[in-house]
Amino acid sequence: MSMFHSMNNTASALTAQRLRMDVISSNMANADSTRSINGAGPYRRKSVVLEPKEGQFSSFLNMAISQKGRNSAGNGVKVSRIVEDRVTPTKMVYDPSHVDANEDGYVEMPNVDPLREMADLISATRSYEANVTVFNASKGMMMKALEIGK
């Protein structure tokens, strides 16, 4: 295991959480967008799907049990894809003066819930902060190790 293995793992998590925050920001920015570029209706909420870079948790757990924890650390996290939420229905709002209103005066609005987005943003921010703390702790340990060598 490399001396920088923990930093590489933490850096991958920081990158993934940053992308997650960017997607949440995009959702919030488009919370009132009634048209999409391809003309397929209103904006659809997007979410980030994360997965381990290699292996599954169970394989790392079994390896840690069998080897008593030697070299059983994971290899970080990656964004496997960004998916549109097709499960949550869009909202129909009565506004006959709106440009995109149908013949009954209803406008199909995006399926973005600002409360849910804020909760996801807080979760991503806390995860990002925790990874910054881990990164700084690793850096501090390496600096102390260098001081011992003086």
CA distance 108 to 106: 7
Helix, strand or coil, per DSSP, at residue 109: strand
CA distance 100 to 40: 12
Quote the pTM value.
0.80
Residue 27 is predicted with a pLDDT of: 95
Domains in the chain: boundaries: 5-31+46-84+113-148
CB distance 14 to 132 below 8 Å: yes
Helix, strand or coil, per DSSP, at residue 50: strand
Residue 55 is predicted with a pLDDT of: 64
Residue 64 is predicted with a pLDDT of: 65
Q: Where are the alpha helices (DSSP H) in 68-113?
A: none
Residue 8 is predicted with a pLDDT of: 87
Tokens, residue 97:
């003066």
CA distance 3 to 138: 10
Residue 146 is predicted with a pLDDT of: 86
Residue 3 is predicted with a pLDDT of: 72
Chain-centroid distance, C-alpha 34: 25
Tell me the mean pLDDT per 10 residues along the chain, length 150. Answer: 79 94 96 82 92 71 64 75 92 92 92 95 96 93 86
| DSSP E strands, 30-76 | 46-52
Tokens, residue 141:
């340990």
Residue 70 is predicted with a pLDDT of: 54
